[in-house]
Amino acid sequence: MQQISLAHGEGGELTHQLIRDIFIQSFGHIEQTKFDSAILPIPTQTIAVTTDSYVVKPIFFPGGNIGNLAITGTVNDLAVSGATPHVITAGFIIEEGFPIESLKEIVNTMAGEAEKAKVNIVAGDTKVVEKGSVDGLFINTTGIGFLQEQHRLTPEMIQEGDAVIVSGTVGDHGVAILSARQELGLLTDVKSDCASLNDMIHGLTEEIKGVRIMRDPTRGGLATTLVELCEDFHFTIEVNEKFIPIRGDVQGACDILGYDPLYLANEGKVVMIVDSNDKQKALEILRSHEIGKDASVIGQITARHNHPGRLLLKTPVGTTRGLDRLSGQLLPRIC
Amino acid sequence: MQQISLAHGEGGELTHQLIRDIFIQSFGHIEQTKFDSAILPIPTQTIAVTTDSYVVKPIFFPGGNIGNLAITGTVNDLAVSGATPHVITAGFIIEEGFPIESLKEIVNTMAGEAEKAKVNIVAGDTKVVEKGSVDGLFINTTGIGFLQEQHRLTPEMIQEGDAVIVSGTVGDHGVAILSARQELGLLTDVKSDCASLNDMIHGLTEEIKGVRIMRDPTRGGLATTLVELCEDFHFTIEVNEKFIPIRGDVQGACDILGYDPLYLANEGKVVMIVDSNDKQKALEILRSHEIGKDASVIGQITARHNHPGRLLLKTPVGTTRGLDRLSGQLLPRIC
């Protein structure tokens, strides 16, 4: 089995071969420039920029691997900002001894997901560190998107009665990773929901003007994401627990393991505040898309404030309780 | 001593505090946006994009730490592409147990270098992994620069007789890192040359139209960088060894340790091909800058080809030999 050696990261002949035989082979565009940077024409006057490092453990899991996760995560951060994802950079930190076949598979998965999401990988970097200095492979992706006026989000328009919509079941990615670790002796069929949201979101914002704000509920899960929205934009949300879509096997795994699916990471879901006049149309559009078929209105804005607001959860038995952001350790290296 | 815990990377309350108390404190601009991406106006129709991960060992070394290295490295990749560096994203991967004081110092150093280089850090990401899963701290920076027509490089104009200029002494960073490791019992006063080149390069391309192409000779050193230029742009360079500026103590350390300073990384140097009519003026401008005071014309283009060219070195005894790119392991984790 061929393995990555320290020399692959030295900037010399082996680095050159690695870039040519693996990265250019899969990504095409990368490193084709003869400058030290990729040079890109920009069709808009405004861009969106986001960065994320991926340290998921294990690197391969049901529903994907670190490669598609690194593409979808960054594509989604751009898409939920109202931007059209355009290009991505990829920085690899690889442990000496990492199997070259695994690297090829990951790079191929990235290339496939980038093609699906219609983004180009335009610049890259590879570092190799000694055995024991990194756990296998970490990837950073940074994304640049174009902002077009007609897709601009309107958080300043948020008002009482606006609907809170989530595009599908929550907690799938978290449970898939837990299951892949088998640390807890848990084996389920749950796959990660890892998916690029930009096509679905583009369809939505083309049709509907009432999308106020969007977020993708990754680390910290749906609950933390909603708490942050309440704090950032000064409103109170009341969410009705019975409308939150959760797969039976995800809920079951959480019950056994003592996790709350509202705090588990998702990698292919969007939560949004939408003008109540647009909520039916929004649901229809989301549900017409394969990755949005379980979309649901889960709650509404009940008050605006001039101070950070709160997230309230109405339980099936009729009581209401406040939810806080995730506190303390839950699931390291979930993404 | 306060330490980073896994919970600092969970996306919950402690992540929130870390971002507020360390990153926003130093970087100001970062994460101020209420979207998942930073939103930026773009004044040009073309941008340059580059990405690099920094895994330098040790994290603190004479002349700097991983923080200023991560800024200057990315600023320099933009600057040598003829772009004006504008914004940077920063992705941190931190080992559980890493001292919070050290993180603060690194982040402060980054902020200071970013201010000097006149770039804003606009987006960030923090991941924490278990003890033993990463060696201390790795940083990815991705940079975006603006390309203005008047600073465009002109590699298509390269011709016989063009001068090869290096902006200062080579090998300093490599020897500084070796010395900091003390692995080899070597202690010298050599500091890393780690510095942002954009101000000096901007001054040069404002005044001189004959700058054909630039590179910063980092991993692989001056020799590998020149070999790549010869291969990418199809010309032969003849470099005169006696004109290559090398500090006496750097040469001395290399002699003892068996390294060739031409293959050691630099982090504050630029090598460029310049129209021979402009070479005197270019030297003057470079030397008028603190970090360019040792600039030297080290050689020239001796032939153009329709195939990849070669790098030739004229030695002090009058012989000429071909140089190849760095091959095999030399110095892992030099940047």
What's the 3-state SS for chain B?
CCECCHHHHCCCHHHHHHHHHHHHHHHCCCCCCCCCCEEEECCCCEEEEEEEEECCCCCEECCEEHHHHHHHHHHHHHHCCCEEEEEEEEEEEEECCCEHHHHHHHHHHHHHHHHHHCCEEEEEEEEEECCCCECCEEEEEEEEEEECHHHCCCHHHCCCCCEEEECCCCCHHHHHHHHHHCCCCCCCCCCCCCCCCHHHHHHHHHHCCCEEEEECCCCCHHHHHHHHHHHHHCEEEEEEHHHCCCCHHHHHHHHHHCCCHHHCCCCCCCEEEECHHHHHHHHHHHHCCHHHCCCEEEEEEEEECCCCCCEEEECCCCCEEEECCCCCCCCCCCC
Residue entry with tokens 């504008």 = B86
Q: For position A328, what pLDDT does the model report?
A: 65
The amino acid occupying position B229 is L
Q: For position B72, what pLDDT does the model report?
A: 98
Quick check: is B44 in a domain? yes
Collapsing DSSP to helix, strand or coil, A100 comes out as helix
Quick one: B54 and B198 in the same domain?
Answer: no
Contact of A93 with chain B, judged by CB distance below 8 Å, is answered with: yes
| Mean pLDDT of all residues in B133-152 | 95
Quick check: is A333 in a domain? no
Q: How many domains does the structure of chain A reveal? A: 2
Interface test with B, best of A49, A56, A77, A260 (most B CBs within 10 A): A49
Interface test with A, best of B5, B27, B37 (most A CBs within 10 A): B37
CATH of residue B43's domain is 3.30.1330.10
pLDDT tens digits for range B36-60 = 789 899 888 899 999 999 999 999 9
Going from the C-alpha of A324 to that of each of B274, B285, B311, the distances in angstroms are: 60, 58, 62
Boundary (domain end) residue, out of B104, B123, B151:
B151
Q: Please, what is the end-to-end C-alpha distance for chain A in angstroms?
A: 27
Quick one: A206 and A128 in the same domain?
Answer: no
Quick one: A159 and A147 in the same domain?
Answer: no
Quick check: is A331 in a domain? no
Cβ atoms A196, A138 nearer than 8 A? no
Boundary (domain end) residue, out of B91, B120, B151:
B151
CB contact under 8 A, A13 and B324: yes
Q: For position A28, what pLDDT does the model report?
A: 80
Contact of B134 with chain A, judged by CB distance below 8 Å, is answered with: yes
CATH of residue A258's domain is 3.90.650.10
Which residue on chain A is closest to B138 by alpha carbon?
A93
CB contact under 8 A, A329 and B82: no
d(Cα B101, Cα A158) in Å, to the nearest integer? 40
CB contact under 8 A, B134 and A132: no
Quick one: B146 and B163 in the same domain?
Answer: no
Quick check: is B332 in a domain? no
Residue entry with tokens 């071969």 = A17
Quick one: A144 and A254 in the same domain?
Answer: no
Interface test with B, best of A16, A35, A52 (most B CBs within 10 A): A35
Pick A40's closest partner by Cβ from B46, B130, B224: B46
- Count how many pairs of residues, chain A against chain B, have C-beta atoms within 8 Å: 283
Residue entry with tokens 């950032």 = A232
Q: For position B115, what pLDDT does the model report?
A: 96
pLDDT tens digits for range A77-115 = 999 999 999 999 999 999 999 999 999 999 999 999 999
Residue-wise pLDDT tens for chain A (335 aa)? 899 999 898 877 888 889 889 998 888 855 455 677 898 998 888 999 999 999 999 999 999 999 999 999 999 999 999 999 999 999 999 999 999 999 999 999 999 999 999 999 999 999 999 999 999 999 999 999 999 988 999 999 999 999 999 999 999 999 999 989 876 666 788 999 999 999 999 999 999 999 999 999 998 999 999 999 999 999 999 999 999 999 999 999 999 888 999 999 999 999 999 999 999 999 999 999 999 999 999 999 999 999 999 999 999 999 999 999 887 656 889 89
Which residue on chain A is closest to B85 by alpha carbon?
A37
Question: Which letter does DSSP use for residue A134 in this model?
Answer: B
Quick one: A197 and A93 in the same domain?
Answer: no
- pLDDT-based confidence at residue B185 (cuts at 50, 70, 90): low
Quick one: A138 and A163 in the same domain?
Answer: no
d(Cα A96, Cα A136) in Å, to the nearest integer? 8
- pLDDT-based confidence at residue B165 (cuts at 50, 70, 90): very high
Quick one: A130 and A208 in the same domain?
Answer: no
Six token digits for residue A114: 């980038």
d(Cα A48, Cα A46) in Å, to the nearest integer? 7
Pick B81's closest partner by Cβ from A39, A127, A215: A39
pLDDT tens digits for range A180-212 = 987 666 678 899 999 999 999 999 999 999 999
Contacts of A78 in chain B (CB under 8 A): 36-37
Residue B3: φ, ψ to 5°: -125, 155
Six token digits for residue A93: 């930190």
CB contact under 8 A, A37 and B77: yes
Contact of B150 with chain A, judged by CB distance below 8 Å, is answered with: no
Which residue on chain A is closest to B263 by alpha carbon?
A12
Quick check: is B83 in a domain? yes
Quick check: is B229 in a domain? yes
Contact of B71 with chain A, judged by CB distance below 8 Å, is answered with: no
Which residue on chain B is closest to A224 by alpha carbon?
B12
| Mean pLDDT of all residues in B211-240 | 96
Quick one: A236 and A300 in the same domain?
Answer: yes
Quick check: is A93 in a domain? yes
Question: Which letter does DSSP use for residue A301 in this model?
Answer: E
Q: For position B15, what pLDDT does the model report?
A: 85
Interface test with A, best of B15, B20, B35, B213 (most A CBs within 10 A): B35
Contacts of B45 in chain A (CB under 8 A): 41-42
**pLDDT tops 60 at residue B138:** yes
Question: Which letter does DSSP use for residue A21 in this model?
Answer: I
Quick one: A196 and A319 in the same domain?
Answer: yes
Pick B45's closest partner by Cβ from A41, A83, A330: A41
Contact of B2 with chain A, judged by CB distance below 8 Å, is answered with: no
Quick check: is B269 in a domain? yes
Residue B283 domain boundaries:
155-323
Quick one: A213 and A261 in the same domain?
Answer: yes
Read out DSSP for A200-236? HHHHHHHH-S-EEEEE---TTHHHHHHHHHHHHHTEE
Contact of B53 with chain A, judged by CB distance below 8 Å, is answered with: yes
Quick one: B21 and B145 in the same domain?
Answer: yes
Contacts of A49 in chain B (CB under 8 A): 37-38, 40, 87, 89, 122-123, 144
Going from the C-alpha of A256 to that of each of A175, A180, A185, the distances in angstroms are: 11, 16, 11
Work out the minimum CA distance from A76 to partner chain B, whole angstroms.
9
d(Cα A261, Cα A242) in Å, to the nearest integer? 13
CB contact under 8 A, B42 and A41: no
**Residues 6 or more apart whose Cβ sits within 8 Å of residue B332:** A6, A9, A10, A128, A129, A130, B57
Boundary (domain end) residue, out of B134, B151, B168:
B151
Contacts of A158 in chain B (CB under 8 A): none
CB-side neighbour CA atoms (13 Å) of B247: 20
Interface test with A, best of B78, B121, B133, B139 (most A CBs within 10 A): B133
Q: For position A34, what pLDDT does the model report?
A: 67
pLDDT tens digits for range B4-34 = 999 898 877 888 889 889 998 888 855 455 6
Collapsing DSSP to helix, strand or coil, A171 comes out as coil
**pLDDT tops 70 at residue B249:** yes
Collapsing DSSP to helix, strand or coil, A308 comes out as coil
Mean pLDDT of chain B: 93
Residue A176: φ, ψ to 5°: -60, -40
Among the ranges given (A294-298, B10-14, B65-69, B71-75), the one the predictor scored with the smallest mean pLDDT: B10-14
Six token digits for residue A121: 């990988």
β-sheet bridge partners, residue B271: B166, B215
Residue A62: φ, ψ to 5°: -60, 125
Q: For position A31, what pLDDT does the model report?
A: 46
Contacts of A7 in chain B (CB under 8 A): 327-329
Query: For residue B227, how far is the Cα from the chain centroid?
Result: 18
